[in-house]
Amino acid sequence: MGLMERPAEWQGGSKPPPTPNFAPSPSRVFEPPLLLGAMMRDGDNSIPDAQPAPMVIDVEFEEQEVQIPQSTEFGQAEIREPLDLPRAAPTPDGRARIVTVINQKGGVAKTTTVINVAAHLAIQGVKVLVVDCDSQGNCATGFGIDKSRIRYGTRTLMLAPEDAIRARHATGVENLHLIVADRQLVGIEEELISQLGRERRLAEGLEALLPHYDLILIDTPPSLGLVSINALVASDSVVIPVQTEYFALEGLALLASTIREIRHRLNPRLGVDAVLLTMHAPTLLNGQVAAQVRETFPDLVVDPPIRRNIRLAEAPSHGTPIHIHAPKSAGGQDYLNLSNALMKVWGFGVKDE
């Protein structure tokens, strides 16, 4: 098809082409409808008069008694009932009792409890091994150990159990040894995920150490991942620290369900030794949460509650447990009494101070 020739008067740019008119026709101009009280037409400055709303007066009410059927539910929430968690069985003679301190919520004083309970029992003459399964490695800091110089640790215990003896490290407390965790533990779940028997690797690593100790305390990360599952499978019992604040209560049902599942499928001897109240303060909220925990675990709560205390917070910066750093402080006295109570639960004799 040939190109259309331009008119002669447009040639050479003598006259520009006409500009098309795209103005809308009057019939297509949109006029919004008049909304009384909301919009006004242009040019209309009048304001519509407000109409008074009708008032309700001289109304008589009659009281009637209504029978409401009793129910165990308030809306969608059921009344809290005690959680049925099994007690742990006694430890067989000739080997250590393995206890995991666990709560998938962080910041509930798991590591603080492990450090100070282990130190007190060691001072009492109990041979204690602490196994740190948290990649933050705070147990080493709490005992004054430089974890950057450690070659063998918890990773060795799980991936090379034949070297378990070499993974132990002495601390400044007599009768107390530590297996250190560090950042190398971060990727261990990915390494174990494809291996058979991955839930039992920690139990296999601890097997050679059982005859050398009276108690093995395992510190766990704030999660219910494969490392925590390994700790539960290896353990005889668990201790659950609970901060006396509302959020700490939310994960207890999930943790109880996990313990029952581990008991059913992987470790039938697993039970609960104690529920501890930590970071406690004399406030109404803390008191209410403590009362609710006691209702939920009526036979498992071990007193006394661990009060908030500045000495407890500063002890790790000195690399010493509270029994050495400030034994007469409120935190030192609380952990002293709690440790003595746990010694009775575990069947260890308490020496006179």
What is the rounded average pLDDT of the residues 22-47?
Answer: 51
Q: Which helix (H) or strand (E) holds 217?
A: strand 215-219
| pLDDT at residue 76, rounded to an integer | 36
pLDDT at 208 over 70: yes
Residue 9 — very low, low, confident or very high, per pLDDT cuts 50/70/90?
Answer: low
| pLDDT at residue 182, rounded to an integer | 83
What are the tokens at 235?
């353990």
| pLDDT at residue 185, rounded to an integer | 86
What are the tokens at 64?
């009637």
More confident: 214 or 2:
214
Residue 41 — very low, low, confident or very high, per pLDDT cuts 50/70/90?
Answer: low
| Interval 320-352: pLDDT, tens | 999 999 999 999 999 999 999 999 999 997 665
Q: Domain ranges for the chain, please list them.
A: 97-346
Question: What is the C-alpha R_g of the chain?
Answer: 35
What is the rounded average pLDDT of the residues 277-298?
Answer: 89
| pLDDT at residue 246, rounded to an integer | 80
C-alpha dist (Å) from residue 8 to 3, 14, 18, 19, 30: 15, 9, 15, 18, 42
User: Residue 128: phi, psi to the nearest 5?
Assistant: -120, 140
What is the rounded average pLDDT of the residues 251-270?
Answer: 91
| pLDDT at residue 124, rounded to an integer | 95
| pLDDT at residue 74, rounded to an integer | 30
Closest alpha carbon to 331 in 312, 304, 317: 312
Q: Which helix (H) or strand (E) holds 282?
A: none
Closest alpha carbon to 205 in 190, 216, 219: 216
Query: Domain 97-346: which topology?
Result: Rossmann fold (3.40.50)
Look at 20-24, 167-171, 221-225, 312-316 and tell me which has the smallest mean pLDDT.
20-24
What is the rounded average pLDDT of the residues 237-258?
Answer: 87
What is the rounded average pLDDT of the residues 1-23?
Answer: 55
Q: What letter represents residue 52's amino acid?
A: P
| pLDDT at residue 319, rounded to an integer | 94
Closest alpha carbon to 199 in 165, 168, 224, 181: 224
| pLDDT at residue 249, rounded to an integer | 75
| pLDDT at residue 298, rounded to an integer | 85
Which residues contact residue 317 at a Cβ distance below 8 angstroms, ignoring those fewer than 6 apart? none
Bridge partners, 168 (sequence order): 179
Q: To 5 degrees, how large is the angle CA 110–CA 352–CA 276?
A: 20
| pLDDT at residue 117, rounded to an integer | 97
Mean pLDDT for the chain overall = 82
| pLDDT at residue 78, rounded to an integer | 39
What is the rounded average pLDDT of the residues 205-217?
Answer: 96
More confident: 131 or 7:
131
Residue 4 — very low, low, confident or very high, per pLDDT cuts 50/70/90?
Answer: low
Distance CA 92, CA 112 (A): 28
